[in-house]
Amino acid sequence: MHVHLYKVSRSETLPLLETVIQNVAGVPLEQRLRQVTTRPIRMDDPMAPDDKFKGVWRLSFLKFRSEGPGRASPSTVAESIPLAEGESFSEDTAAIFDPESKALVVQYNHYGPRASAIEDYFTVWTGVQQAKYSFLLQINQAAQARLRNKKLFTRLNFRVAPDRISEHWKNANVSLADALKCTADIGEGDWISVEISMDRRDHNRSLDIFDKIQAFVGLADEPRDVVSHLEISGRDDIGEAVDPVNLINERVQKSYRDLPLDEGRRIPMEVRWNCLYDAYSTWKQSGLI
């Protein structure tokens, strides 16, 4: 299980995220569904900070699946898993939120709600127009410092599948998403590889990407079957060596393996929260939070 670190920000017209969490918790479960892009998403019962999970809310988010897996064994053929009336298959994602630091630690679940969908869920819930919550993917401190120190950006190199990029990222970066789509349409390909370089043309000039760095950091949060490479290179000053920053490799991430499974072959929510809190504590001690 992989977990990633985000920083929560919001438009001034929106309430604090912890206020919204409490508001959602006060509504019956069946009334918590909200349509996010093409799928309904729900926050299940949140858990307030307690003596074990000091200072953080424990959260879980659910997405229903229209189709499900089957079951089989070495001696039986595949068969459907029976569901009761009104039931559906689902995927869920665990998270913890620290209201003081605005840190959000999220389990990565390829099939479940991802951070961008959770961000949209809270925004939709408030119903405030022209406002939004933003969950900003955190890259490690060394990479952040290296990007801040760049006076000249010399190369941008990435490989993406434009048709598979999330609607959330496209809506937040319309012009860049349109450019990627137009590039893909030229060759009608599934993937595009782009390298824009000024390395040899003029050592005193820079690519105009400073105000787009956060968009590319957000692109690094897309799954690997959407973005397989993403690198920004630059110089700290004229005449200095070019320094590449690989945004995918520089994400703040912690991985957990060999976790116990319950009778349904799922990682229990309590185990997931324990892992998230362990990552949170580690990152807090190291100064990332």
**Residue type at position 243:** D
Supply the angle between the helices 115-126 and 17-25 in degrees, to the nearest 10.
80
Q: Could you report the per-residue pLDDT of 11-46, keeping only the tens digit for each?
A: 999 999 999 999 999 999 999 999 987 788 999 999
pTM score of the predicted model:
0.86
**Distance of alpha carbon 243 from alpha carbon 240, whole angstroms:** 9
168-213, pLDDT tens digit by residue? Answer: 899 888 888 888 888 777 766 688 888 888 765 556 678 888 888 8
- Contact predicate 24/118, CB 8 Å: no
Residue 287 CA to residue 289 CA, distance in Å, equals: 5
Q: What is the pLDDT of residues 137-180, one digit of tens each?
A: 999 989 989 998 898 898 999 999 988 898 889 988 888 888 88
